[in-house]
Structures are given as C-alpha cells and as structure tokens.
C-alpha cells in the first residue's frame, strides 16, 4: 500500500460521515469524497501531503458537493433548490447531540430498522470504514455480487423512504447499539486478520476499531456489551506487534514473545472486562478467552479448560459453525488431539463452512500435533483465536450479540459462589448477574492469571 493509499483508507470514513451529516445525502457524500481523493492524486504528489489531510479532503469534498447541488438546483423545475439553500445555510456549524463523532453518528443512522441487518452492516462498512465490496463479502461470508446489491438497495431505500441521516432519539439508542457493536467488531477484525492487501495486519483498521469502541463506551458508559467489546479488541490488540515476523508472516500464539505484549493495553482491557460484568451478549465470552490468553504467564500455563467452557457458551449463543470449529482446537489442547479431531468432525460437514477455509488448517494442525503428520500447515496458527492468513476469522454474524442484556433484579435472592472455579461456572450458567475478579502479579511483568472471587447468579 502506498503512502497515499494509507491516507485515503484512514480519512475516507470520517470524510464521508461528515459530508453525509452535512448534506443529508449518502450518494452526494460518497461521490464528493471520491472527487476529493481524485483531486488529491493530482495535487499531492507535487505539493506534498497536507499536515491535516483529513481536513483538506473534507473541505474539497464539501466544495464539490456544493457545486453539484448548485448545478442541480439551477435545472428546470429547481427541485433541489430548497436542498441547496438548506445545506449552504448550514455551513460548518455543529449541532448539539450526545453523539459527537460523525462516524458513530453515521453508524447509528445506518442502523435504521427499515434496513435488514446484513444491509445495515454492509452499508456501514463501505461508507464508514472504506472497505471494498470484496473485503466486506469475505467478512460476511457472502458473494461479492450479493454484497454489492445489498449496498445499492440500502442506499436506494434510504433515499426513496426519505430516511433522515441523523442519530435516533435517546430512547432508540439501545435498540440500534447491537448493530454499531457489530460494525466496530468487523472494522477491527478486518484489520487484525486482513483479507485484502499484501499485509496480514492493517494497522489503520485496528486503530480505528479500538478508537470507535472507546468512543462508544464514552457515549454509553452503562452499556456492558460495549465494555465487553472494548475489552476484546484491546486484549487482542495488545499482541499486534508480536503477531508478524519481518517477512510479514503470522507468528503462532505459542511462538510469540510475551514480553513484547503491550501491558498497558492488557491492563486497559482487563479494566473494560471488569466494567462488562453481567453483559448478556457474545462479546463477553470472547473477551474472557482473550483475557485468559493475555494473562497466562506461558503457553504451557494456558487455562484450556476454562477456554473450552467459554467456547461452549459462545457456541450456544451464536450457533456459529466457525465458533464450533475453533472450539475443536481448544478441545484438542484440553483433552488430547484425538478428542479435538473428533470435535472437528462433528462440525466439518456444516454447509455454512463450504465457502470458507476453516476446517482444513485446523485439521492439519491437530494431525501434526497428534503425530499423524510431520509437515506443518502453512498459515495455521496455534490457536483458533489467532487465525492464519488463509483461515477465516470469526464472522461478524457469529460475533455480533444476539442475546439481550440480562435484567438483574436487586431484590432477587441469589446464591454466591466463591473460588477459582467460579469463572467456569459463570460461563456455563444460563444466566448470571455479575462477576468480580482480581488480577494477580505475573513473573514476567505481564499481569498474572485472572482469579475470580465472586459470581452472582440469577435464579
């Protein structure tokens, strides 16, 4: 990726979101930013990239949009005259609203209930994150044609139904939040396990996913699923700089230098996990898995038993065959690799895995570790939470929360469970209200194992 490509990737989403809010038209916003990028390609090679490239692109795009609306408003009938006057009068003045970030504003707008879930996600990933249709299709396990049609239909529906490009009223924010969580997760996932481009990691998308997750927590500090997602991305991101070698190939988790993991991000992730206690969505068990890896002092001391329980909980929540396939590898480390192969066989024929390369690398890794194959499988990671370049990441559909937060009642008489086994019972339980834990000190400078002290269950 060239320097300009990186700038365009980074600034595309904010520019489109700002122009869409300002103009009220998705097509106008997208076209204007495309024209601004084309202008930058003509000017920047000679003049240099501006210090604030995003502001440059947004300003040029705004001028292009104004020119277009001015021309359209002057046509016979002047159908767009009122629109032009309204947009021109709006200038750059901000509006008072709890959502201050244009990208989050756009995400909530695209979560309108008039759009189906897949269209919401595809549209947001295209407009906010700047992912190509092919990248979105891979993330959603759909064909390019299907995703392209979804995006086109979603834009047409927004225009034809006159859906306002604004943040919904406060009483509807919770209803739209699961979609926003799914979009943020998808942005981070595409960066962490990139499906496109020469690099296995796209730093700008990882940074964007972490940033947007933090923004959402600041906007909705009481949303436990938002904290669970933020914990998940921070804990995974703590290992980013140790995941690739000098040639750009992925390094398996058991071969990574744990001393180089970002201890600050681990600490922040564990704090977010504490704030997520009682979350009812699928991000919590994923964050627990990430925390158990991040706090294990060595690979040999990984708590595979609890990781398997977390996978059981996640599979129950999502019904995803990708989750079950990844669980098989964890079962192999817990119960022996023959048991892992048996668990993989139970899900291998699921038709939803037909378009993925999920099963083959996991099977090859289990066979190699069981001594039935001596040739390592290229691109196979040592654990399913660290997929290789040819192994699909957990799909957004599998990872997006589809379970409503639990309603803990203050007057309920509930049992208390104390001790080291509480986390396993928490994840296996059908319902729970909260979990409290502490983090012990590790010998390598990395936080030590998570010790669960108290779990409160719902009746």
Identify the pLDDT of residue 159. Answer: 85
The per-residue DSSP string of 390-405 comes to TSPPPPHHHHS--SPP
Q: What is the mean pLDDT of residues 207-226?
A: 90
Q: What is this structure's pTM?
A: 0.70
Give yes or no for residue 383 having a pLDDT over 50.
Answer: no
Percent of the chain residues past pLDDT 70, beyond the cut:
73
Q: What is the mean pLDDT of residues 430-446?
A: 45
The C-alpha angle 183, 21, 222, rounded to 5 degrees, equals 45
Identify the pLDDT of residue 319. Answer: 93
* Sequence spans of domains, the chain: 3-90, 416-456
The residue ranking higher by pLDDT, 199 or 398, is 199
Q: What is the mean pLDDT of residues 103-107?
A: 81
Q: In 111-255, which ranges are continuous DSSP H helix?
A: 117-127, 133-140, 144-160, 173-192, 203-219, 224-237
Element (H, E) at 67: helix 53-73
The side-by-side arrangement of strands in the sheet containing 416-418 is 416-418, 450-456, 434-439
Q: How does the average pLDDT of the chain come out, rounded?
A: 77
pLDDT tens digit sequence for 120-162? 888 988 888 788 888 888 877 789 999 999 999 999 998 888 8
The residue ranking higher by pLDDT, 387 or 39, is 39
Residues 6+ apart with CB under 8 A from 142: 118
Identify the pLDDT of residue 420. Answer: 36
Tokens at residue 20, please? 């869409």
Q: What is the mean pLDDT of residues 441-447?
A: 43
pLDDT tens digit sequence for 321-372? 999 999 999 999 999 999 999 999 999 999 999 878 889 999 999 999 988 7
């Amino acid at each position: 990726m060239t320097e300009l490509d990186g700038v365009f990737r980074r600034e595309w989403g904010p520019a489109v979101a700002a122009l869409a809010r300002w103009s009220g038209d998705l097509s106008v916003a997208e076209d204007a930013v495309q024209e601004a990028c084309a202008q930058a390609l003509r000017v920047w090679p000679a003049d240099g990239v501006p210090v604030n490239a995003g502001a440059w692109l947004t300003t040029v795009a705004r001028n292009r949009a104004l020119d277009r609306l001015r021309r359209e408003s002057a046509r016979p009938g002047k159908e767009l005259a009122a629109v032009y006057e309204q947009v021109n009068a709006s200038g750059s003045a901000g509006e008072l609203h709890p959502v201050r970030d244009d990208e989050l504003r756009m995400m909530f707008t695209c979560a309108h209930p008039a759009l189906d879930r897949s269209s919401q996600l595809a549209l947001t990933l295209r407009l906010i994150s700047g992912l190509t249709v092919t990248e979105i299709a891979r993330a959603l396990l759909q064909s390019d044609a299907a995703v392209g049609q979804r995006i086109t239909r979603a834009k047409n529906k927004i225009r034809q139904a006159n859906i306002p490009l604004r943040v919904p009223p406060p009483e509807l924010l919770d209803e739209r939040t699961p979609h926003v969580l799914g979009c943020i997760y998808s942005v981070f996932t595409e960066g962490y396990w990139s499906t496109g481009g020469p690099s296995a990691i796209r730093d700008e998308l990882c940074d964007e996913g972490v940033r947007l997750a933090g923004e959402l927590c600041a906007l909705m500090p009481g949303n436990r699923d938002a904290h669970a997602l933020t914990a998940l991305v921070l804990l995974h991101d703590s290992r980013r700089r140790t995941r690739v070698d000098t040639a750009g190939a992925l390094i398996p988790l058991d071969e990574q230098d744990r001393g180089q993991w970002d201890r600050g991000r681990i600490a922040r992730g564990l704090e977010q996990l504490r704030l997520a206690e009682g979350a009812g969505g699928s991000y919590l068990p994923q964050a627990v898995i990430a925390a158990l890896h991040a706090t294990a002092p060595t690979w040999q001391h990984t708590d595979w038993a609890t990781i398997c329980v977390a996978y059981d909980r996640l599979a129950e929540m999502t019904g995803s065959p990708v989750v079950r396939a990844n669980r098989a590898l964890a079962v192999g480390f817990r119960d022996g690799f023959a048991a892992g192969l048996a668990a993989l066989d139970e899900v291998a024929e699921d038709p939803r895995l037909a378009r993925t390369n999920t099963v083959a690398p996991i099977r090859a890794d289990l066979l190699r570790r069981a001594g039935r194959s001596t040739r390592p499988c290229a691109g196979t990671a040592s654990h399913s939470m660290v997929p290789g370049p040819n192994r699909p990441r957990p799909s957004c559909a599998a990872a997006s929360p589809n379970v409503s937060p639990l309603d803990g009642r203050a007057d309920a008489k509930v049992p208390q469970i104390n001790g080291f086994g509480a986390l396993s019972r928490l994840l296996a339980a059908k319902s729970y209200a909260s979990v409290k834990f502490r983090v012990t000190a590790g010998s390598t400078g990395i936080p030590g194992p998570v010790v669960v002290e108290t779990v409160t269950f719902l009746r």
